[in-house]
Structure 1
Amino acid sequence: MDPVIEVVALFLGFVSWIMVGIAIPNRYWKVSTIDGTVITTSTIYENLWMSCATDSLGVHNCREFPSLLALSGYIQASRALMIAAVVCGTFGVVATLIGMQCSKAAGDNYVLKGRIAGTGGAFFLLQGLCTMISVSWYAANITQEFFNPLYPGQKYEIGEGLYIGWASGVLAICGGACLMFSCKLGTKEKTYYQPTRETVYSASTSKRDAQSTYGRNAYV
């Protein structure tokens, strides 16, 4: 595998892993909309863990969700998927570091290193898929409530936390794809046949015997 591709894939995967860690605690997953509102006295914004409000004076007030079981199903699933994305990203970074050609963790066995790097790419792909499913599912519920004219509650718009999650998912998928499709998982070094001294000696002896036989037959 090309070392440049390894470095690029590791960089993309590491950046995506950091961005997942930034997206999870970000408070602005959804922000209350001002569409159709003449006077706005406060702004409400939420994420997977808490709901916050800011009044016209700039005073912030946040409260965590009191019960996990009382939350909507998509919020619970998004939490689980984001946590799984962090775990997969951690394994992906560690496996890629071990499987790089410049690493001394696996010795000089480049076939084993390629397989470990490919495993790291698979973890990055899982991280990207978990992140994309989580933020896309969350955004789908926001847009569904926003465009529903019969929805009685507060309507929200997509916040910056979801955009960070989408960017993280794209980078993770790109890094994982580079590792998965570029590393040579099944490549083995070719073994070249080197004749031994005994083989060379027996071959020369056979050739000499054949020459002597044909020489005797020439005089018959």
Structure 2
Amino acid sequence: MRKRLIQISGFLISSLGWLFVLCTMAMDYWRITKIGGQGGSFIIKVAWYWSNLWSDCYTDSAAVTNCRDYPVLWNVAYYVQAVRGLLMCGLTIGFFAVVCCFVGMECTYIGGSDKTKDKVLFAGAVLHFVGGMSDIAAYCLYINRIARTAFARRVASGVLRYELGPPVFLGLAGCFFILVGAVLYAVTVYKVIRRGSRVVQAGDAHTYMAPPSRGRTIYSGYYKPSKLNGSNYMGSGRSSAQLSKLSQATPTKPSDRDAFV
């Protein structure tokens, strides 16, 4: 029951993280800056410049927004292309990770035996980790690009100093949820897989073999077949004639010990 609850929690947390990452690709205000807004006249003019992964936009104080979509792929800035590619790769890997984890969870009745389901779930956890790291690399690349301009001592004329917008922080939170979900998945199946590998290694290393009998059994030490006559047997120090005499003797009266009993 505890294993099932941990897996369900991991599924919900990781799915929420992928939802956050997916939403950031369609959100605006990845970077934003403001120009103007200082007094000196009756009409205060303010302009906001902001961008996302698909366009650059401008909003004035009258709430009028004008956007310029990015041109074809090979004319877009290299870091924007890299961020797009890393996010798309991470989402693709995350799709297969969600499917594998759904099949490998204990509460689902598909996927085969428990051992097979544990292996599939562990593979899904690895895919979650790889996809989450791909998304983290995308957000870190975008942050590095913005920070290099924002903290530079001198910039060229016409270059704006942008600040990070909400989608970047939301995406980082989603990556954190994805990694937490992957850890919860791995915790529930790591011990089972490790224990199974130990059993296989122990069985391969120590193989039981019966000791050689060398033609001697537990009965052959006391009753050996005679080499001369197969129907006669040699006992321990007694001949066959003595054994036959003893078998023919019948007691006529009870001994003292039997009488006492």
Category of TM-score, reference length = shorter chain: 0.7 to 0.9
Overall identity of the aligned pairs, in %: 24
Alpha-carbon separation, structure 2, partners of 1:33 and 1:42: 6
Match of 2:92 among 58, 68, 87: 87
TM-score by length of 2: 0.68
Residue 134 of structure 1 aligns with an amino acid whose one-letter code is: A
Alpha-carbon separation, structure 1, partners of 2:100 and 2:68: 38
Partner of 1:196: none
SS at match of 1:133: helix
Higher relative contact order (CA 8 A, sep 6+): 1
Match of 1:58 among 39, 59, 63: 63
Mapped contact 2:29–2:51 kept (Cα < 8 A): yes
Gaps of 5+ in 1: 191-208
Mapped contact 2:18–2:175 kept (Cα < 8 A): no
Partner of 1:133: 137
Partner of 1:193: none
- Please give the residue correspondences for 1:38-49 in structure 2 after superposition, counting only pairs within 5 Å: 38=38, 41-49=46-54
Match of 2:123 among 111, 119, 133: 119
Gaps of 5+ in 2: 39-43, 200-218, 224-235, 237-242, 244-261
Alpha-carbon separation, structure 2, partners of 1:94 and 1:179: 13
Mapped contact 1:20–1:85 kept (Cα < 8 A): no
State the Cα RMSD in Å.
2.8
Partner of 1:73: 78
Partner of 1:103: 108
TM-score by length of 1: 0.80
Q: CA deviation at 1:33?
A: 4.3
Partner of 1:171: 177
Alpha-carbon separation, structure 2, partners of 1:118 and 1:44: 45
For 1:145-198, what per-residue CA distance to the aligned partner results, in whole angstroms no more than 9, with x for missing partners?
A: 01112212011000001001100111111111221233133544x9xxxxxxxx
For 1:115-173, what per-residue CA distance to the aligned partner results, in whole angstroms no more than 9, with x for missing partners?
A: 11111111111121011111111011111101112212011000001001100111111
Larger radius of gyration: 2
Q: CA deviation at 1:41?
A: 2.7
Q: CA deviation at 1:71?
A: 2.3
